[in-house]
A and B are shown apart, each in its own frame.
Chain A
Amino acid sequence: MKAAAKIDMALFELALRMGDNDIVLAQRISAWCGHAPILEEDIALANVALDLIGQTKLWLDLAGEIEGAGRSADDLAFLRDARAYKNALLVERPNGDFAYTLMRQFLFDAWHLPMLRALKSSSEQRVADIAEKAEKEARYHLERTEDLIIRLGDGTQESHSRMQAALDDLYPFAGEFVAPDAIDDELASRKIAPALSEIGALYFDYLETALAEATLKAPVDAPVRKGGRKGLHSEELGYLLAEMQFLQRAYPGAKW
Protein backbone atom coordinates (compact mmCIF):
# COMPACT_ATOMS: atom_id res chain seq x y z
CA MET A 1 0.00 0.00 0.00
CA LYS A 2 2.89 2.40 -0.60
CA ALA A 3 0.85 4.11 -3.29
CA ALA A 4 -1.91 4.81 -0.79
CA ALA A 5 -0.96 8.43 -0.39
CA LYS A 6 -1.49 9.06 -4.08
CA ILE A 7 -5.08 7.81 -4.21
CA ASP A 8 -7.53 10.51 -5.19
CA MET A 9 -9.85 9.81 -2.27
CA ALA A 10 -12.57 12.25 -3.26
CA LEU A 11 -12.84 10.79 -6.74
CA PHE A 12 -12.72 7.27 -5.32
CA GLU A 13 -15.59 8.12 -2.98
CA LEU A 14 -17.63 9.62 -5.80
CA ALA A 15 -17.28 6.45 -7.87
CA LEU A 16 -18.21 4.28 -4.90
CA ARG A 17 -21.22 6.38 -3.96
CA MET A 18 -22.54 6.35 -7.50
CA GLY A 19 -21.82 2.66 -8.05
CA ASP A 20 -23.09 1.52 -4.68
CA ASN A 21 -26.42 3.27 -5.18
CA ASP A 22 -26.76 1.41 -8.46
CA ILE A 23 -25.89 -2.07 -7.23
CA VAL A 24 -27.92 -1.89 -4.03
CA LEU A 25 -30.99 -0.66 -5.87
CA ALA A 26 -30.51 -3.20 -8.66
CA GLN A 27 -30.26 -5.93 -6.05
CA ARG A 28 -33.52 -4.77 -4.51
CA ILE A 29 -35.58 -4.45 -7.66
CA SER A 30 -34.25 -7.60 -9.28
CA ALA A 31 -35.95 -9.53 -6.48
CA TRP A 32 -39.26 -8.60 -8.17
CA CYS A 33 -38.31 -10.58 -11.26
CA GLY A 34 -41.07 -13.17 -11.60
CA HIS A 35 -43.20 -11.58 -8.87
CA ALA A 36 -44.39 -8.24 -10.28
CA PRO A 37 -48.10 -7.40 -10.56
CA ILE A 38 -48.28 -7.94 -14.32
CA LEU A 39 -45.97 -9.30 -17.01
CA GLU A 40 -45.36 -5.99 -18.76
CA GLU A 41 -44.20 -4.46 -15.49
CA ASP A 42 -42.08 -7.47 -14.62
CA ILE A 43 -40.21 -7.00 -17.88
CA ALA A 44 -39.91 -3.23 -17.53
CA LEU A 45 -38.49 -3.41 -14.03
CA ALA A 46 -35.95 -6.01 -15.08
CA ASN A 47 -34.74 -3.58 -17.74
CA VAL A 48 -34.11 -0.98 -15.06
CA ALA A 49 -32.19 -3.51 -12.97
CA LEU A 50 -30.07 -4.41 -16.01
CA ASP A 51 -29.28 -0.76 -16.69
CA LEU A 52 -28.26 -0.24 -13.09
CA ILE A 53 -25.98 -3.27 -13.07
CA GLY A 54 -24.33 -1.98 -16.23
CA GLN A 55 -23.77 1.36 -14.55
CA THR A 56 -22.47 -0.34 -11.42
CA LYS A 57 -19.74 -1.99 -13.44
CA LEU A 58 -18.64 1.31 -14.93
CA TRP A 59 -18.49 3.13 -11.60
CA LEU A 60 -16.88 0.35 -9.63
CA ASP A 61 -14.34 -0.33 -12.36
CA LEU A 62 -13.47 3.34 -12.16
CA ALA A 63 -13.22 3.13 -8.37
CA GLY A 64 -10.87 0.17 -8.68
CA GLU A 65 -8.80 1.99 -11.23
CA ILE A 66 -8.47 5.07 -9.04
CA GLU A 67 -7.57 2.99 -6.04
CA GLY A 68 -4.94 1.19 -8.04
CA ALA A 69 -4.87 -1.85 -5.78
CA GLY A 70 -6.08 -4.26 -8.44
CA ARG A 71 -9.64 -4.60 -7.19
CA SER A 72 -12.20 -5.25 -9.92
CA ALA A 73 -15.82 -4.12 -9.93
CA ASP A 74 -16.76 -7.62 -8.77
CA ASP A 75 -14.26 -7.49 -5.91
CA LEU A 76 -15.70 -4.20 -4.80
CA ALA A 77 -19.29 -5.35 -5.09
CA PHE A 78 -18.92 -8.79 -3.55
CA LEU A 79 -16.11 -8.43 -1.04
CA ARG A 80 -16.77 -5.20 0.79
CA ASP A 81 -18.64 -5.21 4.06
CA ALA A 82 -21.44 -2.82 4.98
CA ARG A 83 -19.25 -0.12 6.49
CA ALA A 84 -17.36 0.24 3.22
CA TYR A 85 -20.53 0.60 1.16
CA LYS A 86 -21.33 4.23 0.36
CA ASN A 87 -24.86 4.15 -1.02
CA ALA A 88 -27.52 6.49 0.30
CA LEU A 89 -29.95 4.91 2.78
CA LEU A 90 -32.94 5.22 0.45
CA VAL A 91 -31.83 2.51 -1.95
CA GLU A 92 -31.36 -0.10 0.76
CA ARG A 93 -34.94 0.30 2.00
CA PRO A 94 -36.66 -3.07 1.66
CA ASN A 95 -39.01 -3.67 -1.26
CA GLY A 96 -42.25 -3.46 0.71
CA ASP A 97 -45.31 -3.51 -1.52
CA PHE A 98 -45.10 -2.47 -5.15
CA ALA A 99 -46.09 1.10 -4.22
CA TYR A 100 -43.11 1.28 -1.89
CA THR A 101 -40.77 -0.09 -4.54
CA LEU A 102 -42.00 2.39 -7.14
CA MET A 103 -41.85 5.36 -4.79
CA ARG A 104 -38.29 4.44 -3.81
CA GLN A 105 -37.41 4.18 -7.49
CA PHE A 106 -39.04 7.52 -8.26
CA LEU A 107 -37.23 9.36 -5.47
CA PHE A 108 -33.99 7.84 -6.72
CA ASP A 109 -34.55 8.49 -10.43
CA ALA A 110 -35.61 12.08 -9.77
CA TRP A 111 -32.20 12.73 -8.16
CA HIS A 112 -30.22 10.44 -10.44
CA LEU A 113 -31.12 12.22 -13.66
CA PRO A 114 -30.08 15.80 -12.74
CA MET A 115 -27.00 14.41 -11.02
CA LEU A 116 -25.88 12.49 -14.10
CA ARG A 117 -26.74 15.41 -16.31
CA ALA A 118 -24.41 17.59 -14.28
CA LEU A 119 -21.70 14.93 -14.20
CA LYS A 120 -21.64 14.91 -17.98
CA SER A 121 -19.63 18.11 -17.78
CA SER A 122 -17.29 16.82 -15.12
CA SER A 123 -13.69 17.99 -15.35
CA GLU A 124 -12.75 14.33 -14.93
CA GLN A 125 -13.22 12.73 -18.34
CA ARG A 126 -13.83 9.21 -17.05
CA VAL A 127 -16.69 10.49 -14.91
CA ALA A 128 -18.13 12.47 -17.80
CA ASP A 129 -18.02 9.40 -20.04
CA ILE A 130 -19.93 7.22 -17.61
CA ALA A 131 -22.48 9.96 -17.01
CA GLU A 132 -22.98 10.36 -20.73
CA LYS A 133 -24.09 6.77 -21.08
CA ALA A 134 -25.98 6.50 -17.80
CA GLU A 135 -27.90 9.70 -18.32
CA LYS A 136 -29.78 8.31 -21.30
CA GLU A 137 -30.91 5.34 -19.26
CA ALA A 138 -31.82 7.47 -16.26
CA ARG A 139 -33.94 9.71 -18.46
CA TYR A 140 -36.09 6.78 -19.46
CA HIS A 141 -36.23 5.45 -15.91
CA LEU A 142 -37.59 8.74 -14.63
CA GLU A 143 -40.04 9.06 -17.48
CA ARG A 144 -41.49 5.69 -16.51
CA THR A 145 -41.55 6.14 -12.75
CA GLU A 146 -42.93 9.65 -12.98
CA ASP A 147 -45.72 8.39 -15.17
CA LEU A 148 -46.50 5.54 -12.79
CA ILE A 149 -46.37 7.74 -9.69
CA ILE A 150 -48.85 10.15 -11.26
CA ARG A 151 -51.16 7.42 -12.46
CA LEU A 152 -51.13 5.52 -9.18
CA GLY A 153 -51.42 8.64 -7.03
CA ASP A 154 -54.44 9.59 -9.09
CA GLY A 155 -55.77 6.08 -9.63
CA THR A 156 -58.06 4.48 -7.09
CA GLN A 157 -58.49 5.33 -3.44
CA GLU A 158 -56.42 2.31 -2.54
CA SER A 159 -53.56 3.14 -4.88
CA HIS A 160 -53.57 6.71 -3.63
CA SER A 161 -53.29 5.71 -0.02
CA ARG A 162 -50.58 3.12 -0.76
CA MET A 163 -48.55 5.72 -2.65
CA GLN A 164 -49.06 8.32 0.05
CA ALA A 165 -47.98 5.87 2.75
CA ALA A 166 -44.88 5.01 0.76
CA LEU A 167 -44.08 8.68 0.27
CA ASP A 168 -44.53 9.45 3.97
CA ASP A 169 -42.13 6.70 4.84
CA LEU A 170 -39.52 7.30 2.15
CA TYR A 171 -39.45 11.05 1.75
CA PRO A 172 -37.14 11.60 4.75
CA PHE A 173 -34.48 9.58 2.92
CA ALA A 174 -34.53 11.81 -0.18
CA GLY A 175 -32.48 14.60 1.38
CA GLU A 176 -29.35 12.52 1.79
CA PHE A 177 -28.67 12.55 -1.95
CA VAL A 178 -28.20 16.29 -1.92
CA ALA A 179 -26.72 16.89 1.54
CA PRO A 180 -23.08 17.80 0.86
CA ASP A 181 -20.17 16.82 3.07
CA ALA A 182 -16.50 17.71 2.82
CA ILE A 183 -15.96 15.22 -0.02
CA ASP A 184 -18.75 16.74 -2.07
CA ASP A 185 -17.37 20.20 -1.46
CA GLU A 186 -13.96 19.15 -2.66
CA LEU A 187 -15.43 17.49 -5.75
CA ALA A 188 -17.43 20.61 -6.51
CA SER A 189 -14.45 22.91 -6.09
CA ARG A 190 -12.44 20.73 -8.50
CA LYS A 191 -15.42 20.76 -10.88
CA ILE A 192 -15.51 16.98 -10.86
CA ALA A 193 -19.07 16.99 -9.56
CA PRO A 194 -21.75 19.67 -9.26
CA ALA A 195 -22.47 21.56 -6.06
CA LEU A 196 -25.09 19.38 -4.41
CA SER A 197 -27.07 22.44 -3.37
CA GLU A 198 -27.74 23.10 -7.06
CA ILE A 199 -28.88 19.52 -7.63
CA GLY A 200 -30.96 19.77 -4.46
CA ALA A 201 -32.81 22.81 -5.72
CA LEU A 202 -33.61 21.08 -9.02
CA TYR A 203 -34.54 17.88 -7.22
CA PHE A 204 -36.99 19.35 -4.76
CA ASP A 205 -38.56 21.68 -7.32
CA TYR A 206 -39.14 18.76 -9.56
CA LEU A 207 -40.53 16.57 -6.77
CA GLU A 208 -42.97 19.28 -5.77
CA THR A 209 -44.41 19.55 -9.27
CA ALA A 210 -44.59 15.84 -9.97
CA LEU A 211 -46.04 14.93 -6.59
CA ALA A 212 -48.69 17.65 -6.96
CA GLU A 213 -49.73 16.15 -10.26
CA ALA A 214 -49.89 12.77 -8.57
CA THR A 215 -52.15 14.35 -5.90
CA LEU A 216 -49.63 13.30 -3.25
CA LYS A 217 -48.30 15.40 -0.38
CA ALA A 218 -44.72 15.32 0.80
CA PRO A 219 -44.50 15.32 4.59
CA VAL A 220 -43.49 18.72 5.94
CA ASP A 221 -40.52 19.25 8.20
CA ALA A 222 -39.51 15.61 8.03
CA PRO A 223 -35.97 15.29 9.40
CA VAL A 224 -33.50 14.03 6.82
CA ARG A 225 -32.39 10.44 7.38
CA LYS A 226 -28.80 10.02 6.30
CA GLY A 227 -25.55 8.22 6.96
CA GLY A 228 -25.22 5.71 4.14
CA ARG A 229 -22.91 7.89 2.07
CA LYS A 230 -20.48 7.79 5.00
CA GLY A 231 -20.92 4.05 5.49
CA LEU A 232 -23.38 4.34 8.38
CA HIS A 233 -26.21 2.16 7.18
CA SER A 234 -29.49 0.76 8.35
CA GLU A 235 -29.54 -2.83 9.57
CA GLU A 236 -31.14 -3.84 6.28
CA LEU A 237 -27.92 -3.54 4.32
CA GLY A 238 -26.17 -6.35 6.17
CA TYR A 239 -28.83 -8.82 5.07
CA LEU A 240 -28.80 -7.56 1.52
CA LEU A 241 -25.03 -8.02 1.31
CA ALA A 242 -25.11 -11.39 3.05
CA GLU A 243 -27.40 -12.67 0.34
CA MET A 244 -25.64 -10.98 -2.55
CA GLN A 245 -22.13 -11.95 -1.46
CA PHE A 246 -22.93 -15.48 -0.34
CA LEU A 247 -21.10 -17.42 -3.07
CA GLN A 248 -18.01 -15.23 -3.12
CA ARG A 249 -17.75 -15.48 0.65
CA ALA A 250 -18.50 -19.19 0.91
CA TYR A 251 -16.00 -20.17 -1.81
CA PRO A 252 -13.13 -17.71 -1.48
CA GLY A 253 -11.11 -17.28 -4.62
CA ALA A 254 -13.37 -19.44 -6.79
CA LYS A 255 -14.08 -18.31 -10.36
CA TRP A 256 -17.65 -18.28 -11.61
Chain B
Amino acid sequence: MKNEWPLWEVFIRGQHGLAHRHVGSLHAPDAEMAVKNARDVYTRRNEGVSIWVVRAGDITASSPGEKEPLFEPSNSKIYRHPTFYDIPDDVGRM
Protein backbone atom coordinates (compact mmCIF):
# COMPACT_ATOMS: atom_id res chain seq x y z
CA MET B 1 0.00 0.00 0.00
CA LYS B 2 2.82 2.36 0.88
CA ASN B 3 4.27 1.70 -2.52
CA GLU B 4 1.15 2.28 -4.57
CA TRP B 5 1.67 3.93 -7.95
CA PRO B 6 0.34 7.48 -7.83
CA LEU B 7 -2.86 8.49 -9.56
CA TRP B 8 -2.77 10.60 -12.73
CA GLU B 9 -5.51 12.51 -14.49
CA VAL B 10 -5.56 12.03 -18.24
CA PHE B 11 -6.52 14.62 -20.85
CA ILE B 12 -6.83 13.79 -24.51
CA ARG B 13 -7.20 15.94 -27.59
CA GLY B 14 -9.14 14.17 -30.31
CA GLN B 15 -8.84 14.39 -34.07
CA HIS B 16 -11.24 17.23 -34.51
CA GLY B 17 -9.34 20.17 -33.16
CA LEU B 18 -11.18 20.46 -29.86
CA ALA B 19 -9.29 21.23 -26.66
CA HIS B 20 -7.81 18.49 -24.47
CA ARG B 21 -10.60 16.92 -22.50
CA HIS B 22 -10.45 15.05 -19.23
CA VAL B 23 -11.10 11.39 -20.01
CA GLY B 24 -10.29 9.64 -16.74
CA SER B 25 -7.45 8.57 -14.51
CA LEU B 26 -4.92 5.81 -14.12
CA HIS B 27 -1.95 4.74 -12.05
CA ALA B 28 1.68 5.03 -13.10
CA PRO B 29 5.02 5.32 -11.34
CA ASP B 30 5.92 8.57 -13.11
CA ALA B 31 4.78 11.01 -15.77
CA GLU B 32 6.46 9.31 -18.71
CA MET B 33 4.88 6.00 -17.90
CA ALA B 34 1.57 7.70 -17.26
CA VAL B 35 1.61 8.96 -20.86
CA LYS B 36 2.36 5.48 -22.16
CA ASN B 37 -0.33 3.91 -20.00
CA ALA B 38 -2.79 6.56 -21.09
CA ARG B 39 -2.11 5.67 -24.70
CA ASP B 40 -2.89 2.04 -23.96
CA VAL B 41 -5.83 2.57 -21.63
CA TYR B 42 -7.62 5.56 -23.13
CA THR B 43 -6.94 5.47 -26.87
CA ARG B 44 -7.89 1.86 -27.59
CA ARG B 45 -10.49 3.12 -30.04
CA ASN B 46 -8.44 5.66 -31.86
CA GLU B 47 -9.75 8.49 -29.71
CA GLY B 48 -6.84 10.83 -29.57
CA VAL B 49 -3.86 12.53 -31.09
CA SER B 50 -2.37 14.20 -28.02
CA ILE B 51 -2.19 13.20 -24.37
CA TRP B 52 -1.62 15.27 -21.25
CA VAL B 53 -1.19 13.75 -17.81
CA VAL B 54 -1.21 15.54 -14.49
CA ARG B 55 -0.56 14.01 -11.12
CA ALA B 56 -3.96 14.00 -9.42
CA GLY B 57 -2.47 15.48 -6.27
CA ASP B 58 -1.10 18.45 -8.20
CA ILE B 59 -4.49 19.70 -9.31
CA THR B 60 -5.77 22.75 -7.52
CA ALA B 61 -9.52 22.80 -7.67
CA SER B 62 -12.08 25.43 -6.79
CA SER B 63 -13.79 24.42 -3.59
CA PRO B 64 -17.43 23.39 -3.84
CA GLY B 65 -18.31 25.63 -0.91
CA GLU B 66 -17.34 28.63 -3.01
CA LYS B 67 -19.59 27.72 -5.90
CA GLU B 68 -21.85 30.66 -5.24
CA PRO B 69 -19.31 33.48 -5.06
CA LEU B 70 -17.33 31.98 -7.94
CA PHE B 71 -20.01 31.20 -10.43
CA GLU B 72 -23.21 33.00 -9.57
CA PRO B 73 -22.06 36.53 -10.46
CA SER B 74 -21.78 35.47 -14.09
CA ASN B 75 -25.43 34.41 -13.99
CA SER B 76 -26.50 38.03 -13.90
CA LYS B 77 -24.32 39.09 -16.81
CA ILE B 78 -26.84 37.94 -19.32
CA TYR B 79 -25.70 40.62 -21.78
CA ARG B 80 -22.76 38.29 -22.51
CA HIS B 81 -25.09 35.88 -24.25
CA PRO B 82 -26.27 36.41 -27.82
CA THR B 83 -29.87 35.69 -26.94
CA PHE B 84 -29.94 38.88 -24.81
CA TYR B 85 -30.27 40.96 -27.96
CA ASP B 86 -33.50 41.14 -29.85
CA ILE B 87 -32.64 41.55 -33.52
CA PRO B 88 -35.47 41.59 -36.07
CA ASP B 89 -35.61 38.56 -38.36
CA ASP B 90 -35.52 40.89 -41.39
CA VAL B 91 -31.89 41.69 -40.63
CA GLY B 92 -30.92 38.15 -41.53
CA ARG B 93 -28.46 35.82 -39.87
CA MET B 94 -26.24 37.43 -37.28
CB within 8 Å of B: which residues of A?
38-40, 43-44, 47, 140, 143-144, 147, 151
Provide the residues of chain A in CB contact with B44, threshold 8 Å. Answer: 43, 47
9 tightest Cβ-Cβ pairs between the two chains A and B: A44-B40, A40-B37, A43-B40, A47-B40, A43-B41, A40-B26, A144-B36, A40-B41, A40-B27
Chain B interface size band reads 10 to 19
Whether B32 is near chain A, meaning CB under 8 Å from some CB there, is yes
Shortest Cβ gap from A84 to chain B (Å): 34
Within the complex, which residue of B5, B27, B32, B36 is in contact with A44, where a contact is CB–CB below 8 Å?
B36
Closest to A46 in B: B40
Closest to B30 in A: A151
Of residues B27, B32, B36, B44, which shows the largest number of chain A Cβ atoms within 10 Å of its Cβ?
A: B36
Between A and B, 27 residue pairs with Cβ closer than 8 Å are A38-B5, A38-B27, A39-B27, A40-B26, A40-B27, A40-B28, A40-B37, A40-B40, A40-B41, A43-B37, A43-B40, A43-B41, A43-B44, A44-B36, A44-B37, A44-B40, A44-B41, A47-B40, A47-B44, A140-B39, A143-B36, A144-B36, A147-B32, A147-B33, A147-B36, A151-B29, A151-B33
Provide the residues of chain A in CB contact with B5, threshold 8 Å. Answer: 38
Known: A39-B27, A40-B37, A147-B36. 11 other contacts (CB 8 A): A38-B27, A40-B41, A43-B41, A43-B44, A44-B37, A44-B40, A44-B41, A47-B40, A47-B44, A147-B32, A147-B33
- In whole angstroms, how far apart are the Cα atoms of A86 and B17 in the complex? 46
Chain A binding surface SS class: helix
CB within 8 Å of A: which residues of B?
5, 26-29, 32-33, 36-37, 39-41, 44
Provide the residues of chain A in CB contact with B28, threshold 8 Å. Answer: 40
- In whole angstroms, how far apart are the Cα atoms of A102 and B44 in the complex? 21
Provide the residues of chain B in CB contact with A39, threshold 8 Å. Answer: 27
Closest to B5 in A: A38
Shortest Cβ gap from B11 to chain A (Å): 17
- In whole angstroms, how far apart are the Cα atoms of A143 and B39 in the complex? 12
- In whole angstroms, how far apart are the Cα atoms of A45 and B36 in the complex? 12
Provide the residues of chain B in CB contact with A47, threshold 8 Å. Answer: 40, 44
- In whole angstroms, how far apart are the Cα atoms of A43 and B27 in the complex? 12
Shortest Cβ gap from A157 to chain B (Å): 15
Shortest Cβ gap from B32 to chain A (Å): 7
- In whole angstroms, how far apart are the Cα atoms of A143 and B37 in the complex? 12
- In whole angstroms, how far apart are the Cα atoms of A235 and B45 in the complex? 38
Provide the residues of chain A in CB contact with B26, threshold 8 Å. Answer: 40
Provide the residues of chain B in CB contact with A40, threshold 8 Å. Answer: 26-28, 37, 40-41
Shortest Cβ gap from B30 to chain A (Å): 9
Provide the residues of chain A in CB contact with B36, threshold 8 Å. Answer: 44, 143-144, 147
Shortest Cβ gap from A159 to chain B (Å): 12
